[in-house]
């Protein structure tokens, strides 16, 4: 049994890509996209017609409307390849506006409904700002399921659990990146690998807290840099993995054991934690890594949304 098949025994495997033509070979349950992945896909010759066809069909409409049609077009194509759910992201430029995030999410869901897609097959991705989390809480009450992304800290995860969101995506690789860059020449790769990886430790703490306190929100590790980070989180509810790393897992027959266990988490002595807005903002501010990576992530997604709009204007 290869490592990918072994991982599927413990964890729901999700493909992190807009390149839906690659999906079938790995047989993931779900798939996730973001503005950067869609931007990358539409610049490939095989996906260029999706961009041009979508722009032609909605020419004259506002760019944000055309953008949502494009995202839903990709989502529908992905859903033809997978049995589960696709995550579609709200424009990152709305990350600090709860009302507009809710409105945009409703519109995306309406576009999926027009295509005959059941709402349980779609997760709306929203940045894990305070405003994003409150928007997700409102959407969840309406039956619109959400995936809270750009999540780097324990306080973000706790607030998402309080909001009863469907799923969170804590970013393993970007946490690792920050600590490695900050340590500079003092970084010891071997000592900080696998179960000791700072990104892995972050997800493990969130997973244990959720399972200990009966929080139903699903934990989906994301943003992996290497296979070791993935295998160290075997047993997590879900893991969303790039095609390159899926291929590495499929090519390896090295042993893979379950690393996270619900029963172990439930037996731990972990205090209950709750946040209101002021204490959330303070906790996030006290975490330099999470503050910097959240801001950086939002900036990058905003920049790629602008680039995608520029491509649509030229199409």
User: Could you tell me if 91 and 58 are in contact, meaning their C-beta atoms sit under 8 angstroms apart?
Assistant: no
- Helix H or strand E segment including 114: helix 98-114
**How many CB atoms are located within 10 Å of the residue 1 CB?**
11
Angle CA 48–74–314, to nearest 5: 35
Chain centroid to Cα 277, Å, comes to 23
Interatomic CA distance for residues 33 and 39, integer angstroms = 10
Catalytic residues: 125
The number of C-alpha atoms within 13 Å of 120 and in the hemisphere containing its C-beta is 2
Q: How many residues does the chain have?
A: 315
- Positive or negative CA dihedral for 103, 104, 105, 106? positive
- In order, the DSSP letters of 157-202 are HHHHHHTT-SEEEEBHHHHHHHHHHHHGGG--TTTTSGGG-HHHHH
End-to-end CA distance of the chain: 46
Interatomic CA distance for residues 6 and 130, integer angstroms = 37
User: Could you tell me if 24 and 2 are in contact, meaning their C-beta atoms sit under 8 angstroms apart?
Assistant: no
Helix (H, G, I), strand (E, B) or coil at 138: helix
């Amino acid at each position: 049994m290869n490592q990918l098949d072994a991982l599927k025994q413990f964890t729901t495997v999700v493909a992190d890509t807009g390149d839906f033509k690659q999906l079938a070979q790995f047989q993931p349950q779900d798939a996730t996209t973001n503005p950067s992945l869609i931007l990358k896909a539409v610049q490939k010759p095989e996906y260029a017609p999706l961009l041009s066809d979508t722009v032609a069909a909605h020419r004259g409409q506002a760019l944000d409307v055309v953008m949502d049609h494009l995202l839903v077009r990709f989502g529908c194509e992905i859903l033809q390849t997978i049995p589960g759910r696709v995550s579609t992201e709200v424009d990152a430029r709305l990350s600090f506006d709860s009302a507009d995030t809710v409105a945009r999410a409703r519109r995306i869901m309406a576009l999926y409904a027009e295509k005959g897609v059941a709402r349980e097959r779609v997760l709306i991705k929203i940045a894990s700002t305070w405003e994003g989390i409150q928007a997700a809480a409102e959407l969840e009450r309406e039956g619109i399921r959400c995936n809270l992304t750009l999540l780097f800290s324990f306080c973000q995860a706790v607030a998402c659990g309080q909001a009863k969101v469907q799923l969170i995506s804590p970013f393993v690789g970007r946490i690792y990146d920050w600590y490695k860059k900050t340590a500079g020449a003092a970084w010891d790769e071997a000592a900080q690998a696998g179960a000791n990886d700072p990104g892995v430790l972050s997800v493990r703490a969130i997973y244990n807290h959720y399972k200990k306190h009966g929080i139903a929100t699903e934990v989906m590790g994301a943003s992996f840099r290497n296979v070791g980070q993935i295998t160290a989180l075997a047993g997590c509810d879900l893991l969303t993995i790039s095609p390159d790393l899926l291929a590495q897992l499929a090519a390896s027959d090295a042993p893979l054991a379950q690393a996270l266990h619900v029963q172990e988490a439930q037996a731990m002595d972990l205090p209950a934690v709750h946040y209101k807005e002021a204490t959330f903002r303070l906790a996030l501010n006290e975490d330099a890594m999470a503050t910097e990576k959240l801001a950086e992530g939002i900036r990058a997604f905003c920049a790629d949304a602008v680039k995608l709009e520029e491509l649509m204007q030229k199409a």
